[in-house]
Structure 1
Amino acid sequence: MGVTFIGCGAAAPETVVLNDALAQVVDTSDEWISSRTGIRQRHISHDRESLAGLAAQAAQQALNMAGMVATDVDMIILATSSSEDLFGTACQIQAQLGATRAVAFDLTAACSGFVFGVVTASQFIRSGVYRNILVIGADLLSRWVDWNDRNTCVLFGDGAGAVLLQGNPNLDRLLGFEINSDGTQNRCLNLAFKPELRELLPGITLTQGKYQYITMNGKEVYRFAINRVPDAIDKVIHQANLTSADIDWLILHQANQRIMDAVAERLQIAPEKVVSNVAKYGNTSAASIPIALNEAVRAGKIQAGDTIATSGFGAGLSWGAAIFQWGN
Structure 2
Amino acid sequence: MNGIEIISTGYAKIEKTLDNAQLEKMVETSNEWILSRTGIQRRHISSRSSALLAIEAAKKATQNQDLSKLSLIIVATMTPENKTPSNACLVQKALDLNEQAMICFDINAACSGYVYALKVAQSLLQEGQYGLIIGSEQLSSIIDYQDRNTCILFGDGAAATLIQKNNNIFYSYLDSAGNREVLYANDYLKMKGQEVFKFAIQTIPQSIDHVLNQAKMTLEEIDYVVCHQANERIIKHVYKKYQCPQEKFYMNLQEYGNTSAASIPLALAEMNEKGILKKGMKIILVGFGGGLTWGALLMEW
User: Which residue pairs with 1:33 in the alignment?
Assistant: 34
Is 1:90–1:104's contact at 8 Å kept on the other side of the alignment? yes
Distance 2:244 2:95 in 1: 39
SS at match of 1:123: helix
User: Which residue pairs with 1:157 in the alignment?
Assistant: 155
Distance 2:76 2:169 in 1: 21
User: Which residue pairs with 2:58 in the alignment?
Assistant: 59
Q: Which amino acid aligns with 2:239?
A: A
Superposed displacement of residue 288, structure 1:
0.2
Superposed displacement of residue 11, structure 1:
1.2
The alignment status of 1:269 with 2:267, answered yes or no, reads no
Q: For the structure 1 residues 91 and 99, does the alpha-carbon distance in structure 2 shift closer, same or farther, using more than 3 Å as the test? A: same
Is 2:54–2:87's contact at 8 Å kept on the other side of the alignment? no
Superposed displacement of residue 218, structure 1:
0.3
The alignment status of 1:190 with 2:184, answered yes or no, reads yes
Cα RMSD after superposing both structures: 1.4
The TM-score normalised by the length of structure 2 is: 0.95
User: Which residue pairs with 2:83 in the alignment?
Assistant: 86
Distance 2:132 2:214 in 1: 25
Distance 1:260 1:119 in 2: 23
User: Which residue pairs with 1:201 in the alignment?
Assistant: none
Q: Which amino acid aligns with 2:51?
A: A
Distance 1:34 1:311 in 2: 23
Q: Give the unaligned 5+ runs of structure 2.
A: none
Distance 2:241 2:289 in 1: 19
Q: Which amino acid aligns with 1:20?
A: A
Superposed displacement of residue 50, structure 1:
2.3
User: Which residue pairs with 1:321 in the alignment?
Assistant: 296
Q: Which runs of 4+ in 1 moved over 6 A?
A: none
Superposed displacement of residue 2, structure 1:
3.7
Q: In percent, how many aligned pairs have the same letter?
A: 42
Superposed displacement of residue 103, structure 1:
2.2
- Aligned pairs for 1:1-328 within 5 A: 2-46=3-47, 49-64=48-63, 67-87=64-84, 88-100=86-98, 101=100, 102-125=102-125, 128=126, 131-168=129-166, 171-174=167-170, 176-183=171-178, 185-192=179-186, 212-326=187-301
Distance 1:108 1:245 in 2: 32
Q: Give the unaligned 5+ runs of structure 1.
A: 193-211
Is 1:12–1:43's contact at 8 Å kept on the other side of the alignment? no
Superposed displacement of residue 71, structure 1:
4.4
Query: After superposition, what is the alpha-carbon deviation per residue over 1:178-204, rounded to whole angstroms, capped at 9, x for unaligned?
Result: 001011x33100013xxxxxxxxxxxx
Distance 1:164 1:130 in 2: 12
Superposed displacement of residue 262, structure 1:
1.0
